[in-house]
C-alpha cells in the first residue's frame, strides 16, 4: 500500500501518517497539490491520496482526472469542521477522516483499499489447481498471459503472482488497455515529454517507468491497436522504452503480465493481434475456469459476499438458506464472480429477514445449468427494463414465460413501474434502489426527474439521504 499525504505535516496529519506506517503502508509526503501532481508525474505512484481539507480538494481531484491518474482520494481535517467535510465529499473524495486520527479508522481505510485489490476466495479444486500453478511460476520473471471470461478474477490472479514473486516489494501497476483511447494509451504506457502534444503540460512518466523494479499488468491487452503493439513488443524484448516526444531511450526492469477475455491464438491467426507479441507474452498461460465450472466456489463466494454487504449496509448478518443456495448453484453465471457479487448484494438489500431465500434473489441473465435456452423476448430499450422479468411472480403461467402481465404495455411503462416499485421497497433510499436495479445512481436520478416532470408521484428520499445532502 502506497500512501501519499498532501498537506503540511503539523501534529494530527503527521500522526495519521505514522499510524499508516505502523499498519504497513509506504508513506510519502508533499505539502501542496502541485507537489502531489509532480510526484505522480515522475512515477512515484500512490494507491491512496490523503489530502488536508485546508487545500482545494476539488482542484486536486479534477487535476487527477485531467491527467488520468486513477487513484482514490480521502480528505482529512479537524473533526468538528463539518462544512469542510461535506465540501470534500461533494468534490469527489471517497471518505473523510476526522482528526485527531483514530488508529482503527486509518486501518479500516487502508484495508478497504487493499481488500479490493488482493482478496481471493476459493476452495474449488479447479481454481486451487490454477492457483498452485500460479504460485509455482511466480518466482520467475517470465511473462504470463492470464485468460478467462469476464468477471472470473484475472486481475486478482495477477496481483497474487506479484505478491508471491521476488518483486513483491516493488510496485504493481495496472493499465486497462480497453478503457484508454488509442491516441492516449501510448503516452499512458511510455510517458511523454512536455509539449509533445496538446495538453502535455509537463513531463509525465509512463506506466513502464512507474513499474520499474516491479510488475506491470496490461489488462485486456487484446483491445490494443496493432500499431502500438509493435512498440510494445520492442519494449518487452529490449526492456527499453521511448517517451512520446523524447529522443533518449529509457531502460526499465519490469515483469509483464497480461490478461484477455478472448481466444488470443485465434485473434493472432485472424490478424487482429500480432503473433510475435502473442508468443512473447504467452511464456506461461493461466486459464481461469468460469464460475459454472467451480461449483464449490459458488457457495463459498455467496456466503462471503452476504457477510460483506450485510456489514457494508449496516444490516444484521444475512445467511443464505438451502432454497436460496439451490437457486444460486443452478444458475449459469455468464458474468461469473462479478455477476454473483452483484446478485448477492441485491439479495442482502431485498431480504426481509436474516435468511436469504429465492424471493430475494434477482438473477440478471443466463440460464440454469441443464435447462433449455430461454424463449426470445423483445429487446429492452431502457437500462433496467431487461430486469423486469426477474420481478415477475413465481406463480406466473409457464406458457407466458413469466411475461403475460406485461403484454400490451410499453417498455417505458414496465421500466418506470419497476424503478418506482423498487424505490418504494427501499423506503425511498436512492442508493439501495440503484444497487438492486444494477444501474448507476446518476441514471436513477435522471429517470426519477423525468417521471417527476411528467407528473408521476416519486417517493421522497430516505431520511439518511436527506441528512447527507444537507
Domain containing 470 — which CATH number?
A: 1.10.10.60
With contact defined as beta carbons under 8 Å apart, do 401 and 375 qualify? yes
Query: Of 56, 81, 116, which residue is a domain's last?
Result: 116
Query: Of 289, 324, 341, which residue is a domain's last?
Result: 289
Task: Read off the pLDDT band of 402 (50, 70, 90).
Answer: very low
For residues 169 and 236, state if they share a domain. yes
Domain containing 130 — which CATH number?
A: 3.40.50.300
For residues 199 and 274, state if they share a domain. yes
Confirm whether 381 is domain-assigned.
Answer: no
For residues 15 and 77, state if they share a domain. yes
Cα–Cα dist 459/470, whole Å: 19
The owner of cell 471518505 is 95
For residues 348 and 227, state if they share a domain. no
Task: Read off the pLDDT band of 460 (50, 70, 90).
Answer: confident
For residues 208 and 228, state if they share a domain. yes
For residues 210 and 304, state if they share a domain. no
The pLDDT tens digits of the residues spanning 417-454 come to 888 888 887 778 887 777 778 787 778 888 898 888 88
Averaged pLDDT for residues 351-367: 82
For residues 258 and 323, state if they share a domain. no
> What is the DSSP annotation of 406-468?
GTTS-HHHHHHHHHHHHHHHTTT-HHHHHHHHTS-HHHHHHHHHHHHHTT---PPPPHHHHHH
The pLDDT tens digits of the residues spanning 56-97 come to 898 998 888 888 787 888 888 876 567 777 888 888 888 888
Domain extent, residue 432, equals 387-470
Confirm whether 382 is domain-assigned.
Answer: no
pLDDT at 393: 37
DSSP 50: E
pTM more than 0.75? no
The pLDDT tens digits of the residues spanning 156-203 come to 999 999 989 999 888 899 999 988 888 889 999 999 888 877 777 788
Q: Which residues touch 199 (CB under 8 Å, ≥6 apart)?
A: none
For residues 355 and 398, state if they share a domain. no
Among candidate residues 185, 242, 187, 245, the one with its CA nearest the CA of residue 219: 185
With contact defined as beta carbons under 8 Å apart, do 39 and 69 qualify? no
CA atoms within 13 A on the CB side of 74: 22
For residues 150 and 188, state if they share a domain. yes
Q: Find the distance separating the first CA and the last CA of the chain, reported in whole Å.
A: 34
Domain containing 20 — which CATH number?
A: 3.40.50.2300
pLDDT at 407: 62
| Structural domains of the chain, count | 4
For residues 256 and 143, state if they share a domain. yes
Query: Of 116, 143, 170, which residue is a domain's last?
Result: 116
Amino acid at each position: 500500500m502506497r500512501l501519499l499525504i498532501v498537506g503540511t505535516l503539523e501534529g494530527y496529519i503527521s500522526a495519521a501518517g505514522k499510524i499508516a506506517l505502523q499498519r504497513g503502508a509506504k508513506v510519502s509526503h508533499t505539502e501542496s497539490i502541485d507537489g502531489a501532481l509532480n510526484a505522480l508525474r515522475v512515477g512515484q505512484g500512490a494507491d491512496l491520496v490523503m489530502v488536508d481539507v485546508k487545500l482545494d480538494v476539488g482542484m486536486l481531484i479534477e487535476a487527477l482526472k485531467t491527467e488520468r491518474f486513477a487513484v482514490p482520494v480521502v480528505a482529512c481535517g479537524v473533526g468538528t469542521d463539518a462544512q469542510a467535510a461535506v465540501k470534500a465529499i461533494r468534490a469527489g473524495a471517497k471518505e473523510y477522516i476526522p482528526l485527531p486520527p483514530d488508529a482503527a479508522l486509518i486501518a479500516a481505510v487502508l484495508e478497504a483499499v487493499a481488500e479490493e485489490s488482493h482478496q481471493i476466495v476459493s476452495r474449488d479444486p479447479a481454481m486451487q489447481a490454477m492457483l498452485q500453478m500460479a504460485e509455482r511460476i511466480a518466482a520467475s520473471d517470465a511473462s504470463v498471459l492470464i485468460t478467462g471470461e469476464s468477471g472470473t478474477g484475472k486481475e486478482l490472479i495477477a496481483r497474487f503472482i506479484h505478491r508471491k514473486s521476488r518483486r513483491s516489494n516493488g510496485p504493481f501497476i495496472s493499465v486497462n488497455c480497453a478503457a484508454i483511447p488509442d491516441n492516449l494509451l501510448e503516452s499512458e504506457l511510455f510517458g511523454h515529454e512536455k509539449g509533445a502534444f496538446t495538453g502535455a503540460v509537463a513531463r509525465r512518466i509512463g506506466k513502464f517507468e512507474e513499474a520499474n523494479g516491479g510488475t506491470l499488468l496490461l489488462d485486456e491487452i487484446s483491445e490494443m491497436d496493432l500499431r502500438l503493439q509493435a512498440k510494445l513488443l520492442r519494449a518487452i524484448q529490449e526492456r527499453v522504452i521511448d517517451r512520446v516526444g523524447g529522443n533518449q531511450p529509457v531502460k526499465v526492469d519490469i515483469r509483464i503480465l497480461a490478461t484477455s477475455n478472448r481466444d488470443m491464438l485465434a485473434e493472432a491467426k485472424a490478424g487482429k493481434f500480432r503473433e510475435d507479441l502473442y508468443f512473447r507474452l504467452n511464456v506461461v498461460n493461466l486459464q481461469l475456469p468460469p464460475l459454472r465450472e467451480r461449483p464449490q466456489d459458488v457457495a463459498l463466494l455467496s456466503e462471503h459476499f452476504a457477510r460483506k454487504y450485510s456489514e457494508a449496509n449496516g444490516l444484521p448478518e444475512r445467511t443464505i438458506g438451502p432454497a436460496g443456495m439451490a437457486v444460486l448453484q443452478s444458475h449459469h453465471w455468464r458474468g461469473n464472480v462479478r455477476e454473483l457479487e452483484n446478485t448477492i448484494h441485491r439479495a442482502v438489500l431485498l431480504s426481509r429477514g436474516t435468511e436469504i431465500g429465492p424471493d430475494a434473489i434477482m438473477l440478471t441473465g443466463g440460464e440454469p445449468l441443464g435447462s433449455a435456452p430461454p424463449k426470445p423476448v423483445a429487446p429492452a430499450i431502457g437500462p433496467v427494463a431487461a430486469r423486469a422479468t426477474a420481478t415477475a411472480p413465481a406463480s406466473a403461467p409457464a406458457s407466458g414465460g413469466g411475461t403475460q402481465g406485461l403484454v400490451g404495455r410499453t417498455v417505458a411503462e414496465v421500466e418506470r413501474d419497476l424503478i418506482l416499485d423498487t424505490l418504494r421497497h427501499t423506503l425511498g433510499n436512492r442508493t439501495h434502489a440503484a444497487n438492486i436495479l444494477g444501474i448507476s445512481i446518476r441514471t436513477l436520478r435522471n429517470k426519477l426527474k423525468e417521471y417527476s416532470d411528467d407528473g408521476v408521484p416519486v417517493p421522497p428520499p430516505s431520511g439518511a439521504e436527506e441528512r447527507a445532502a444537507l
